[in-house]
Amino acid sequence: IGKVLDASSGAVANALDRLVSLEDAVLTCERPRRFALAPTDDMPDDASAGSPAEPGHTATDTYNG
């Protein structure tokens, strides 16, 4: 994520932690840290698994910070 956004790993980690605190994302695995979009009321039940935004990228891509 940091490489794509041209941001430091610390900035990416802080942003992901903030999204979790706002309940916009969920931490799905501690090691390696993995994140997913938080489910919402208007999402179908299977949508929280993440649909690719780009080929090869999903909402649960690993962040190794």
pLDDT of residue 43: 74
* pTM score: 0.62
Q: What is the pLDDT of residue 53?
A: 46
Task: Note the pLDDT of residue 61.
Answer: 55
The amino acid present at 56, given as its one-letter code, is: G
pLDDT at 2: 92
> What are the tens digits of pLDDT across the range 39-50?
998 877 665 555
- Go through 26-59 and write b for each residue having 16 or more CB atoms within 10 A of its CB, e for each that does not: beeeeeeebbbbeeeeeeeeeebeeeeeeeeeeb
Residues in the chain with pLDDT values less than 70: 45-65
pLDDT of 55 reads: 44
